[in-house]
């Protein structure tokens, strides 16, 4: 099995944990001499010369070895994927028109109430119908494409009741398979494609979801309204997507064996031709991979999608809270972190004397609600061969059955790399009747533990249990059934697993861009998954899981709604609308915090938490132009010849700016401001241009600045006076220091009038990237 790690967190069940194995490429997974599947990327499809060269290569090499040709790319960009020897790959890389040749990577999947929480946060009612300003002929219908594990079409979340005809602009298809017929598509699921790979079993040649991830993300983004949804009574309520009138096109690029880069590129190529409006990817490379732009299938596909007017939204990864772990950081991608919502799934501990200790977890254990079960610390239950540390953690084989049988065991995440699911399994195998796991890291993220009573507490809560253990010779406890607690505070907070900035690509672009709900999200699942089912009960049609995988489709839904309301807006305008209207406060009216309780920075949250309402009417937008992106490639180090091969938008007389270097990336017209390589004894100047989209014609905006300590930030002019809608005005930001820069610092500037607040976070760093 090739590497698969979900961008939903891998701590929900042993099944998903076992899937979390290392990132591989075809070359690594295959023979050690470098033979395997390679991707040959030849740039823009708008170049007839590129297309001709690609066809010549294909005809020459694969006329008699057609089975070695895996995919061809011809709609949004040009190239192919094929089985090649290492020597063939080297030869092809030197051919005219070839931008890059690289082994086919295997990427990770970044694995209801969340929409109500966003509504509460913005205090404005969400209209589940089409925007009132949208056209009435169906042209407002937005089409969301998802690159994922497939879809379970029988789910009620994908019913097409009251939906109008499929938009006439749609050019996609519904691929048939043995268990997926064209009739499985409808006016909700309007497209379904899967991609064959030579190492896949034939059973996966279908768009049907066998994992659950794709059904979950699809229904989060665009699921129809389903009343009385729950996971066996937990998190009950109405399940609905954020854009319930949007259409879904599923591109199945992931199987239990992984998500190959060649399939991801094939899906991008098809989606561009099919006519999607927004693309959502809850997958990516692991943070340690440090893949270059011209060998990253997601960055490549997203660039060409952007050129065709498609916004690409990706999860930030689940390698947090490590600094610099964020992935999918190309500036033409919208990168999404994950936060909690105001719903807590509590499984409390009751000690002797009826002292209640708050805990977190989803379990369906049938035990007494009274504290009648003996309680023991893992250290006190160790077997003779185990170390004290492994017994405290309740590692596999560390506990003595005679000491554990019939007891609740208190286990600890001593080394920072253990999980409650593993401790539960050890306690259960030795005859215990419950597990209390101490872990500050995972305390705020409810995982499912099936029928065995299990809960997670933090070290502060654990101190009370240790005190109780030391105060009595006959400690007893119980673990209460899971209950759903609404209006939990403070929320949001950044999930511990959510990958953090800064970007390894460049600190001149703030990543992540935004944060959205990604913890304990209820959404559709496969209808036959015995691994999440309770004994004696039918498979649940919904599941509660967490990850940046779950956060990305929340943003996708809002982007879809903006596209419906403003169909002429391009990807950068939609991204700007979402970023500049984000919120920085929680439901306690304080600033958003991390899992530790510390105030979050833009490296945790990006611009802030997604707003479902203000983003529809942002007032001003930052439009990142084609020239901005071309200049970015120049600043990043690509030459004009390569850039012209990559992009269809290169003017005839385009040249890279003089003295192109990494810190000039700050100058592209991005909604946030990142200033890198700041030496402290200089001024740094960047310009930004905003477009008036407020709808009132004449508008005046005044700037306010949140200046970090030790700095001066001057904005010129301090007022922007617009005379009409669509007018563009430019302002200048000059940054200077009054003290030496010892660490990255954060600020913001906001343009506001009586109707709108347009906020851009500012990050200042002495470095240019995590690797430079």
Is 513 in the active site?
no
The gap between the terminal CA atoms of the chain, to the nearest Å, is 35
Is 549 in the active site?
yes
Which residue has 């003089």 as its token pair? 658
Residue 616: partners with Cβ closer than 8 Å, 6 or more residues away: 131, 561, 562, 565, 577
Residue 53: partners with Cβ closer than 8 Å, 6 or more residues away: 42, 95, 96, 97, 98
CA distance 41 to 39: 6
Residue 18: partners with Cβ closer than 8 Å, 6 or more residues away: none
User: Could you tell me the CA-to-CA distances from 698 to 71, 659, 701, 719 in Å, in that order?
Assistant: 52, 39, 10, 13
CA distance 573 to 656: 25
User: Could you tell me the CA-to-CA distances from 392 to 383, 458, 473, 554 in Å, in that order?
Assistant: 11, 15, 19, 39
Is 422 in the active site?
no
Cα-based torsion angle of the residue sequence 356, 357, 362, 363 in order, rounded to the nearest 10 degrees:
-60
Helices and strands per DSSP (H, E), number in the chain: 17, 38
As given in the structure block, the two tokens for residue 285 are: 């490379």
In 3D space, the residue among 587, 347, 368 whose CA is nearest the CA of residue 485 turns out to be 347
Would you say 706 and 722 are in contact if contact means Cβ atoms under 8 Å apart?
no
Active-site option among 263, 398, 422, 549: 549
CA distance 430 to 445: 26
Alpha helices, DSSP H only, in 380-482? Answer: 388-393, 401-404, 420-429, 459-471
Beta strands in 532-658 (DSSP E): 542-545, 620-621
Q: For the chain, how long is the longest CA-to-CA vector? A: 84
Q: What angle do CA 124, 128, 130 make, to 5 degrees?
A: 110
Would you say 188 and 248 are in contact if contact means Cβ atoms under 8 Å apart?
yes
Residue 14: partners with Cβ closer than 8 Å, 6 or more residues away: 421, 425
Active-site option among 148, 269, 425, 744: 148
The three-class DSSP label of residue 199 is coil
CA distance 221 to 563: 14
Would you say 75 and 270 are in contact if contact means Cβ atoms under 8 Å apart?
yes
Backbone angles phi, psi at 641, to 5 degrees: -60, -45
Would you say 579 and 606 are in contact if contact means Cβ atoms under 8 Å apart?
yes
Burial label, 144 (beta-carbon count in 10 A; 0-12, 13-18, 19+): buried
Active-site option among 71, 110, 113, 213: 213
Helix (H) or strand (E) holding 216, with range, is helix 213-222
Would you say 662 and 772 are in contact if contact means Cβ atoms under 8 Å apart?
yes
In 3D space, the residue among 707, 708, 721 whose CA is nearest the CA of residue 751 turns out to be 721
Length of the chain: 772
Backbone angles phi, psi at 713, to 5 degrees: -125, 115
Residues annotated as part of the active site = 148, 213, 549
């Amino acid at each position: 099995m090739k590497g698969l790690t979900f961008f939903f967190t891998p701590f929900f069940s042993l099944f998903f944990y076992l899937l979390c194995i290392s990132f591989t490429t075809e070359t690594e997974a295959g023979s050690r001499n470098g033979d395997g599947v390679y991707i040959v990327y030849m740039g823009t499809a708008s170049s007839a010369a590129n297309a001709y060269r690609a066809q010549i290569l294909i005809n020459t090499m694969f006329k008699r070895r057609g089975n070695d040709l895996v995919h061809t790319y011809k709609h949004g960009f040009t190239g192919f994927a094929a089985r090649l020897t290492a020597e063939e790959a080297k030869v092809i890389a030197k051919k005219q028109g070839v931008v890059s040749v690289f082994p086919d990577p295997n990427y990770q999947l970044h694995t209801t109430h969340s929409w109500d929480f966003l509504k509460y946060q913005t205090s404005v009612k969400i209209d589940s119908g089409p925007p009132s300003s949208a056209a009435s002929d169906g042209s407002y219908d937005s089409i969301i494409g998802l690159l994922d594990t497939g879809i379970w079409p029988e789910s009620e979340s994908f019913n097409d009741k009251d939906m109008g005809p499929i938009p006439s602009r749609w050019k996609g298809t519904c691929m048939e398979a043995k268990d997926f017929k064209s009739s499985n598509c409808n006016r909700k699921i309007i497209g379904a494609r899967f991609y064959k790979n030579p190492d896949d079993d034939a059973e996966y040649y279908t768009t049907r979801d066998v994992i659950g991830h794709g059904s979950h993300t699809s229904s989060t983004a665009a699921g129809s309204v389903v009343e009385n949804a729950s996971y066996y009574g937990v998190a009950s309520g109405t399940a609905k997507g954020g854009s319930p009138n949007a259409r879904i096109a599923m591109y199945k690029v992931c199987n239990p064996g992984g998500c190959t880069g060649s399939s991801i590129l094939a899906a991008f190529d098809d989606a561009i031709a099919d006519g999607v409006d927004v693309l959502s990817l809850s997958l990516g490379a692991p943070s340690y991979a440090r893949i270059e732009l011209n060998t990253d299938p997601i960055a490549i596909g997203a660039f060409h999608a952007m050129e065709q007017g498609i916004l690409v939204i990706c999860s930030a990864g689940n390698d947090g809270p490590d600094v610099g772990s964020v992935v999918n950081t190309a500036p033409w991608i919208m990168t999404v972190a994950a936060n909690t919502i105001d719903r807590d799934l509590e499984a409390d501990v009751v000690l002797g004397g009826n002292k209640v200790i708050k805990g977190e977890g989803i379990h369906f254990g049938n035990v007494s609600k009274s504290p009648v079960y003996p309680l023991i610390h893992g250290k006190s239950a160790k077997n003779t061969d185990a170390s004290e540390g492994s017994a405290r953690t309740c590692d596999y084989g560390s506990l003595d059955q005679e000491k554990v049988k019939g007891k609740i065991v208190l286990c600890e995440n001593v080394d920072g790399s253990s999980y409650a699911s593993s401790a539960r399994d050890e306690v259960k195998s030795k005859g215990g009747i419950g597990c209390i796991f101490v872990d500050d890291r995972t305390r705020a993220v409810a995982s499912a533990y099936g029928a065995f009573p299990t809960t997670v507490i933090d070290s502060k809560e654990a101190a009370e249990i240790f005190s109780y253990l030391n105060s009595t010779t006959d400690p007893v406890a119980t673990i209460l059934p899971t209950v759903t607690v609404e209006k939990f505070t403070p929320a949001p907070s950044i999930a511990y697993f959510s990958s953090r900035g800064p970007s390894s690509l460049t600190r001149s672009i703030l990543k992540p861009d935004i944060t959205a709900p990604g913890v304990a999200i209820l959404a559709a699942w496969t209808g036959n998954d015995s691994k999440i089912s309770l004994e004696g009960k039918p498979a649940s049609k919904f599941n509660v899981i967490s990850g940046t995988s779950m956060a990305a489709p929340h943003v996708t839904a809002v982007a879809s709604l903006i596209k419906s309301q403003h169909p002429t807006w391009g990807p950068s305008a939609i991204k700007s609308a979402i970023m500049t209207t984000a919120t920085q406060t929680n439901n306690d009216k304080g600033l958003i915090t991390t899992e530790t309780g510390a105030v979050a920075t833009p490296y945790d949250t990006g611009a802030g938490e997604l707003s479902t309402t203000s983003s529809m009417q942002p007032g001003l937008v930052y439009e990142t132009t084609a020239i901005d992106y071309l200049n970015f490639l120049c600043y990043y180090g690509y030459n004009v010849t390569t850039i012209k091969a990559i992009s269809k938008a290169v003017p005839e007389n385009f040249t890279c700016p003089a003295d192109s270097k990494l810190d000039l990336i700050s100058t592209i017209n991005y909604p946030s401001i990142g200033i890198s390589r700041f030496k402290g004894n200089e001024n740094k100047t960047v310009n930004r241009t905003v477009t008036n989209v407020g709808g009132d014609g004449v508008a005046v905006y005044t700037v306010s600045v949140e200046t970090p300590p030790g700095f001066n930030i001057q904005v010129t002019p301090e007022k922007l006076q617009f005379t009409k809608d669509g007018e563009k005005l430019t302002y200048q930001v000059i940054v200077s220091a009054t003290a030496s820069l010892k660490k990255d610092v954060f600020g913001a500037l906001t343009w506001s009038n009586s109707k709108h607040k347009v906020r851009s976070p500012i990050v200042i760093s002495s470095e240019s990237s995590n690797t430079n």
